[in-house]
């Protein structure tokens, strides 16, 4: 192989390799956004077992001003209790960072409306650590607070 052919083939391989790294990151974000849409659908239907199914068995939630909540059943119960006070959740993914083949970090914003006689919109930000379990993305650590 000539030096020129070697350089061209090396550059082509490098471009394919770098492109291959970016493609999974975009796919990862799309998959996580689909799970977020499913989470919202379950929440709006009042299906908190469905919400809980989107978390890992040993997941942790860190609600603001409250103790940690551990495990999918307890997290489902936490969301059920919250749904009595607020609803209409909306989440917006700002960034998904790949942390390996089986982990990712998501940063985003959220809003929901209180169920008071005069509803108020609550807004905030969140960080989720995701784990891929048996080919599906699951929430492993979920923390949020108010403000932008």
The CATH class, in words, for 3-146 is: alpha beta
pLDDT reported for residue 30: 93
**C-beta atoms surrounding 37 within 10 Å:** 11
Contact 20, 93 (CB under 8 A): no
pLDDT reported for residue 13: 38
pLDDT reported for residue 48: 98
Tell me the residue length of the chain: 148
pLDDT reported for residue 2: 46
Per-residue pLDDT of the chain (148 residues; tens, 9 = 90+): 544 443 334 333 333 333 444 445 677 899 999 999 999 999 999 999 999 999 999 999 999 999 999 999 999 999 999 999 999 999 999 999 999 989 999 999 999 999 999 999 999 999 999 999 999 999 999 999 998 7
Could you tell me the sign of the dihedral formed by the alpha carbons of 102, 148, 78, 49, in that order?
Answer: negative
Radius of gyration (Cα) for the chain, nearest Å?
20
pLDDT reported for residue 3: 46
Q: What is the DSSP string of the chain?
A: --HHHHHHHHHHHHHHHHHHHHHHHHHHHHHHHHHHHHHHHHHHHT-HHHHHHTEEEEEEEE-TTS--EESHHHHHHHHHHHHTTEEEEEEEEEEEEE-STTEEEEEEEEEEEE-SSS--EEEEEEEEEEEEETTEEEEEEEEEEE--
Cα–Cα separations (whole angstroms), residue 116 to 45, 68, 94:
19, 26, 29
State the pTM of this model.
0.81
pLDDT reported for residue 1: 52
């Amino acid at each position: 192989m000539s030096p020129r052919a070697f350089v061209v083939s090396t550059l082509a391989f490098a471009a394919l390799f770098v492109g291959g790294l970016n493609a999974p990151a975009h796919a990862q974000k799309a998959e996580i956004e689909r799970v977020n849409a499913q989470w919202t659908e379950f929440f709006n239907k009042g299906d908190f077992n469905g919400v809980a199914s989107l978390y890992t068995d040993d997941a942790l939630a860190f609600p603001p001003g409250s103790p940690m909540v551990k495990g999918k059943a307890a997290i489902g119960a936490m969301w059920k209790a919250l749904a009595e006070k607020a609803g209409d959740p909306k989440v917006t993914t700002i960034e998904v960072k790949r942390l390996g083949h089986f982990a990712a970090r998501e940063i985003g914003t959220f809003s929901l409306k209180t169920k008071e006689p005069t509803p108020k919109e609550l807004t905030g930000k969140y960080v989720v650590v995701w784990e891929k379990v048996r080919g599906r993305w699951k929430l492993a650590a979920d923390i949020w607070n108010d403000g932008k």
